[in-house]
Structure 1
Amino acid sequence: MLSTIIKASAVSLALMTSMSVAADTVMKFASWAPPSHVQNRVVIPTWGKWVEDATQGRVKVEIEYGLGHPKTMFDLVEDGVADAGWSYHGYVPGRFKLTQIAELPLLGANAEAASVAHWRIHQKYLAKADEHEGLTVIGLFTHGPGQIHTAKPILSLADLEGQKIRIGGGIQGIIGDRLGITAVGAPATKVYEMMQQGVIDGVFMSTDVQKSLRLKEVAPNLMLFPGGMYLGSFSLFINPDFLASLSAEDQQAILSVSGEKLSAMAGKAWDQSDIDGLNAAQEYGVNIQHVTTSDAIYKEFEQAIKGMDDEFIEMANQQGVDGAAALHELRQIVQSYP
């Protein structure tokens, strides 16, 4: 009799364990960047651990690669092909305009400070424009300061005129137009190959790519502007139907480890990746030119970007957003960020 009870208990325990395992939800997180990218090495796994801890193991996050071009990530998640994802707003210029607020030149901030400001300003001013329609935004961040990586040395901005420069979109596209470059659109993952084959003469990107995309091997000249020329705006997002399929407790748990906390972490991770990229460039022997605010080339840049703030403010006002107030507050947050 006792043996029968023990066996029945064992079967019951096994069934309960099986049900517990089956009840775990796997969130498919789409990523278009290589596994070596800081998003896949640090940001998504860290957030995934936060999610798993917050939901007591009921929700786990798994990265899925190869689902499509980065500009398709928004649609893939909205359509439920993936449960969550991340991408660069500049890849979809007709849809995302207000997010350019965090990209404007000479903000003078690292990615962590800019990302926190980006999130707060979005929540207060920009979210009502619903540029992320069909998605639940869980984080906003920027890459580090955008710099100039070229095959040949640049002595003045006039040297860039007519050169084929890879542009990712967003504010950097406007800067490229003002500098007279020949813009070449391509995802970041194609840059190494394009530089190696001479399809492009250079790129505007943050310094992390010197290591993460091995640009140190094909872009032997790196010009660093103080604070960078611009920043790049990204978002992390979840399919709202997927989120709604979870218990209210797990929904709240996921959101509690997202938002500003996730945005700050993503920005901080990119800052470290920029440091790693710059160190790799130095070790490899890349020609690094440090521009100062008193240099003629910096004055050239200041002249080239005149009026860009006003253009953004006018566009934001047309979208029903107080552009001047939002931009002023964003810069205040950056300046006071720890």
Structure 2
Amino acid sequence: MKKLTLMLAAAAAGIAISANAYAQDVTLRLHQMLPPQATIPAKALEPWAAKVMEESNGRIKVEHYPSMQLGGKPPSLYDQARDGVVDLIWTVIGYTPGRFPSTEVFELPFMVTNAEATSKAFHEYCEEHCQDEFQGVKVIAWHTHGPGLIHSKQPVQKLEDLNGLKLRGATRVINQMLEELGATPVGMPVPAVPESLSKGVIDGATIPWEVTVPLKISELVDNHTGFAGEHGLYAATFVFAMNQSSYDNLPDDLKKVIDDNSGIETAGLFGKAMDEGDVTGLEIAKKAGDNIYMLDGEERQRWVDTATPLIDAWAAEMDKAGKDGKALVDQARSLIDKYSGGS
């Protein structure tokens, strides 16, 4: 009788453990705008998902839905995560203008160095200044891409070449910069760029090298304009975020897996993937025989001088919103310098 009791107790415990383990298995739906072969999906999101699955012993599974497969437009991604439509999203922060004002400082002209360093700087900055703007989600990483360039049908070798050009910009600040420089900005999410170029809706686009690969930009334009020196023309900013309830409902050990794969190092890894993608994009343009212009010296300085008033104007906007705009700009620059190896 005693042996039977022990057997029944062991069986009951086994059932309880099995049921408990089953209850703690989690499937997270990840939604984003780019095709699966693009840099971030292939080189950052998929490795992140695989690492999370491995470290959770298979108890966290991530279902990846690229190219807006679950519906909506790219600007709706953040709300899909906040509202619990999906569990995880990756998106361009500036697709919802004015909603995350503190982040915009990293989009200002001639701030970005490389994506890895600037991403670490951006994440550290956002942990201090942006938390209140991202309520309703758990941010896994804030990051940026590397130096953005102008990819155009007509050559852009000097400031005056922008006059009359319709150029795609990703965000409010980037569009303001293009207007300041003399172009006609056209705002649109990046997946719309190839068709817009093909149909003549735009004459060119501002994007980094890495995203020219999945969009096949080198097949659509022959000219690419960037800048010599440490600081590139601009950067767009991104957030990889999780619905807060999806995170809160995890058992503590699975929360730790997510926590261990969140933060400044994750931001840096996403940035590093973009840096590596930039190398690939540049090589494809070179092999295609495209014209690649890297503006330097007096011409570069003309662009810097022309764009600088936008920085002052942004700082003044922040002042009106009750934030110290100049201090935010100075801190962003200091953090970028810190992670870029400066003094």
| Same fold at TM > 0.5 | yes
Do 1:26 and 1:59's aligned partners in 2 also have CA atoms closer than 8 Å?
yes
User: 2:105 is matched with which residue?
Assistant: 101
User: 1:312 is matched with which residue?
Assistant: 314
Alignment of 1:180-219 (within 5 A): 180-219=182-221
Change (3 A) 1:55 1:172: same
Do 1:313 and 1:324's aligned partners in 2 also have CA atoms closer than 8 Å?
yes
Shift of residue 16 of structure 1?
Answer: 7.3
Alignment of 1:1-338 (within 5 A): 20=21, 23-65=24-66, 66-67=69-70, 68-127=72-131, 130-226=132-228, 227-292=231-296, 294-296=297-299, 298-337=300-339, 338=341
Do 2:112 and 2:146's aligned partners in 1 also have CA atoms closer than 8 Å?
no
Gaps of 5+ in 1: 1-8
Do 1:30 and 1:63's aligned partners in 2 also have CA atoms closer than 8 Å?
yes
Select between 21-30 and 191-200 the one with higher mean Cα deviation: 21-30
Shift of residue 15 of structure 1?
Answer: 10
Change (3 A) 1:251 1:318: farther
Q: Counterpart of 1:139 in 2: which secondary structure?
A: strand
Shift of residue 36 of structure 1?
Answer: 1.4
> Cα deviation per residue 1:150-207 (whole Å; 9 max; x = unaligned)?
0011232222122211111132111111123222222111111211222210011111
User: 1:4 is matched with which residue?
Assistant: none
Do 2:157 and 2:293's aligned partners in 1 also have CA atoms closer than 8 Å?
no
Tell me the distance in 2 between the aligned counterparts of 1:161 and 1:108: 25
Change (3 A) 1:46 1:170: farther
Select between 322-331 and 250-259 the one with higher mean Cα deviation: 322-331
> Cα deviation per residue 1:72-91 (whole Å; 9 max; x = unaligned)?
00111112110010111111
> Cα deviation per residue 1:191-229 (whole Å; 9 max; x = unaligned)?
112112222100111111332211000011001113321
Tell me the distance in 2 between the aligned counterparts of 1:51 and 1:325: 37
Do 1:211 and 1:281's aligned partners in 2 also have CA atoms closer than 8 Å?
no
User: 2:7 is matched with which residue?
Assistant: none
Q: Counterpart of 1:131 in 2: which secondary structure?
A: helix
Do 1:27 and 1:84's aligned partners in 2 also have CA atoms closer than 8 Å?
yes
1:75 maps to amino acid: D
Tell me the distance in 2 between the aligned counterparts of 1:282 and 1:170: 31
Question: Between Structure 1 and Structure 2, how many residues are aligned?
Answer: 327
Shift of residue 131 of structure 1?
Answer: 1.6
Tell me the distance in 1 between the aligned counterparts of 2:117 and 2:103: 15
Do 1:208 and 1:277's aligned partners in 2 also have CA atoms closer than 8 Å?
yes
User: 2:4 is matched with which residue?
Assistant: none
Change (3 A) 1:81 1:163: same
Select between 52-61 and 160-169 the one with higher mean Cα deviation: 52-61
TM-score, structure 2 length as denominator? 0.88
> Cα deviation per residue 1:241-270 (whole Å; 9 max; x = unaligned)?
111111122113211210112111111100
Tell me the distance in 2 between the aligned counterparts of 1:124 and 1:23: 33
Tell me the distance in 2 between the aligned counterparts of 1:213 and 1:153: 20
Tell me the distance in 2 between the aligned counterparts of 1:40 and 1:110: 19
Tell me the distance in 1 between the aligned counterparts of 2:241 and 2:44: 13
Gaps of 5+ in 2: 1-9
Tell me the distance in 1 between the aligned counterparts of 2:157 and 2:108: 24
Do 2:112 and 2:235's aligned partners in 1 also have CA atoms closer than 8 Å?
no
Shift of residue 323 of structure 1?
Answer: 3.1
Tell me the distance in 1 between the aligned counterparts of 2:125 and 2:144: 13
1:123 maps to amino acid: E
Tell me the distance in 2 between the aligned counterparts of 1:18 and 1:218: 55
Tell me the distance in 1 between the aligned counterparts of 2:102 and 2:247: 25
Shift of residue 276 of structure 1?
Answer: 0.6
- Percent sequence identity over matched residues? 31
1:268 maps to amino acid: K
TM-score, structure 1 length as denominator? 0.89
